[in-house]
C-alpha cells in the first residue's frame, strides 16, 4: 500500500513509519520538517504546514492516510477535505481523553464524549484537549463516511516517548535506593507499548478496518506496584519504594501524574486507566511482555544526554527533600 502519514517523526508517527516500512508499504511523510528532519532518508517527505500550507498534498493519490497530529477540528477537517478524493482509507489518531468523564470503570467506545460550549475554541489545555479531539473525530467522519478508522490510545509508552511519564519510573527505579512512590501501589494502570500500537494500526489499515477503537493495554489488569517490581527486576537495582500517606503529598503539594506519573489521585478518574479494550483485542491487538517495554525504554533513556530536561517525575533534589521530610515526620510520630 501507499500510505501518507501526517507527522511521522516524533513518537507515535515515528513508530508508525517504522512499522509500515517493516510491513513493506510505501510511505510518504508530510510535516514541517522541524522535528528530526532526515530521520527516514529513504522515505519521501513533503514539507508544509497543516494551517494553510497543504499545497504539497494536492494532485497526489495514496491508498491510505494516517493523521497523527490533528488537535483542532478546523485543521483536521481541512486535511480530510483535501484528501477525501485522494485516498481510500483514513486513520485518525485520537485519545481516550475524548470521553466526557472517567468516573465509570470499563467504558467502551460508545461512552459519551466531551463537549465544548464554544466549538470554535482552539486553545489546547487540560479542559479542551479531549473535547477538541472528539470534534476532530467527527470532523473527519463527516468528510470520509465509511472510510474512517479512529484509534483512541491510552498512555503510549516506550522508546522516544517525549512525555517521560513511564520513562521516569524505569529510569528512577534503575538508580536504586529509596524511591518516593504514590500511596497506593494497587492502583490500576493501562499503558501500551508504542511498537505494539503501531504494528496493530498498520495491520488494521491494511485490512481496511473502520470504526472507533480504544487502544491501550495490557489485556490483563496491571497494578502500579507490578510495574515497579518489573522495573527493579529488569534493571537489577536495589530500589525500595516509600509510600507516604496522601495527606503528606497534599501538604507538600506533590502533583499526582506530573511529579508521580501513572498515578491519579482524584477518585473521579477511577476509569481513566480502566477502559474497555475488548473490541481492539478482538480485532488483533496484542501486547509484548512488560519487561521488553521496560528494557527498551531504559536503554533509550540512558542514551540521552545527561542534562536532559525531564518532562515528568521528581527531580533528585525535590525527591531527597520529600524523603527527608517524611522521615522527620515519622520520627515525630514514633513513641519516645
Same domain membership, residue 170 and residue 244: yes
Same domain membership, residue 176 and residue 146: no
Q: Are 115 and 100 in contact (CB under 8 A)?
A: yes
Q: At 309, is the secondary structure helix, strand, or coil? A: coil
Q: What range does the domain containing 302 cover?
A: 165-188+222-266+289-328
Angle between helices 224-235 and 165-175 (to 10 degrees): 50
Residue 274 lies in a domain: no
> Which residues lie closer than 8 Å to 71 by C-beta, 6 or more apart?
124, 129, 132, 133, 136
Q: Are 92 and 136 in contact (CB under 8 A)?
A: yes
Same domain membership, residue 76 and residue 53: yes
Q: Which of the residues in the chain have pLDDT under 50? A: none
The per-residue pLDDT for 137 is 98
Same domain membership, residue 143 and residue 6: yes
Same domain membership, residue 135 and residue 23: yes
Question: Domain holding 89: CATH number?
Answer: 3.40.50.720
The per-residue pLDDT for 334 is 60
Same domain membership, residue 299 and residue 177: yes
The per-residue pLDDT for 152 is 98
Structural domains of the chain, count: 2
Q: How many CB atoms lie within 10 A of CB 194?
A: 25
Is omega for the bond preceding 91 within 30 degrees of 0, making it cis?
no
Same domain membership, residue 149 and residue 109: yes
Residue 279 lies in a domain: no
Residue 55 lies in a domain: yes
The per-residue pLDDT for 335 is 59
Same domain membership, residue 15 and residue 138: yes
Give the separation between CA 156 and CA 53, rounded to whole angstroms. 29
Same domain membership, residue 90 and residue 175: no
Residue 208 lies in a domain: no
Same domain membership, residue 180 and residue 91: no
The per-residue pLDDT for 2 is 98
Same domain membership, residue 12 and residue 147: yes
Residue 199 lies in a domain: no
- Cα dihedral 23, 25, 30, 34 sign: positive
Residue 195 lies in a domain: no
Residue 300 lies in a domain: yes
Give the separation between CA 102 and CA 106, rounded to whole angstroms. 9
Same domain membership, residue 149 and residue 173: no
Give the separation between CA 201 and CA 195, rounded to whole angstroms. 10
Residue 119 lies in a domain: yes
Amino acid at each position: 500500500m501507499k500510505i501518507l502519514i501526517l507527522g511521522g517523526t516524533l513518537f507515535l508517527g515515528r513508530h508508525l513509519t517504522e512499522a509500515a516500512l517493516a510491513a513493506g508499504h510505501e510511505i510518504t511523510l508530510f510535516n514541517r520538517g522541524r522535528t528530526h528532519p532526515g530521520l527516514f532518508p529513504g522515505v519521501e517527505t513533503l514539507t508544509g504546514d497543516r494551517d494553510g500550507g497543504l499545497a504539497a498534498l494536492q494532485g497526489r493519490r495514496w491508498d491510505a492516510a494516517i493523521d497523527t497530529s490533528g488537535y483542532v477540528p478546523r485543521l483536521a477537517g481541512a486535511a480530510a477535505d483535501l484528501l477525501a478524493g485522494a485516498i481510500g482509507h483514513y486513520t485518525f489518531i485520537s485519545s481516550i481523553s475524548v470521553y466526557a468523564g472517567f468516573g465509570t470503570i470499563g467504558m467502551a467506545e460508545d461512552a459519551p464524549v466531551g463537549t465544548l460550549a464554544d466549538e470554535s475554541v482552539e486553545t489546547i489545555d487540560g479542559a479542551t484537549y479531549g473535547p477538541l479531539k472528539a470534534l476532530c473525530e467527527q470532523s473527519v467522519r463527516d468528510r470520509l463516511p465509511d472510510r474512517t478508522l479512529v484509534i483512541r490510545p491510552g498512555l503510549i509508552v516506550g522508546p522516544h516517548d517525549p512525555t517521560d511519564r513511564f520513562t521516569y519510573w524505569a529510569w528512577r527505579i534503575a538508580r536504586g535506593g529509596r524511591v518516593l512512590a504514590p500511596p497506593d501501589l494497587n492502583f490500576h494502570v493501562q499503558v501500551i507499548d508504542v511498537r505494539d500500537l503501531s504494528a496493530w494500526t498498520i495491520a488494521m489499515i491494511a485490512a481496511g478496518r473502520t470504526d472507533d477503537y480504544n487502544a491501550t493495554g495490557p489485556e490483563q489488569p496491571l497494578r502500579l506496584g507490578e510495574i515497579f517490581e518489573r522495573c527493579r527486576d529488569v534493571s537489577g537495582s536495589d530500589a525500595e519504594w516509600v509510600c507516604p500517606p496522601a495527606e503528606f503529598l497534599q501538604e507538600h503539594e506533590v502533583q499526582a501524574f506530573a511529579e508521580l506519573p501513572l498515578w491519579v489521585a482524584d477518585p473521579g478518574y477511577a476509569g481513566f486507566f480502566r477502559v474497555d479494550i475488548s473490541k481492539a483485542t478482538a480485532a488483533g491487538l496484542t501486547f509484548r511482555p512488560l519487561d521488553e517495554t521496560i528494557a527498551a525504554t531504559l536503554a533509550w533513556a540512558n542514551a540521552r544526554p545527561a542534562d536532559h530536561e525531564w518532562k515528568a517525575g521528581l527531580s533528585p533534589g525535590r525527591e531527597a527533600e520529600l524523603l527527608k521530610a517524611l522521615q522527620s515526620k515519622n520520627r515525630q510520630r514514633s513513641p519516645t
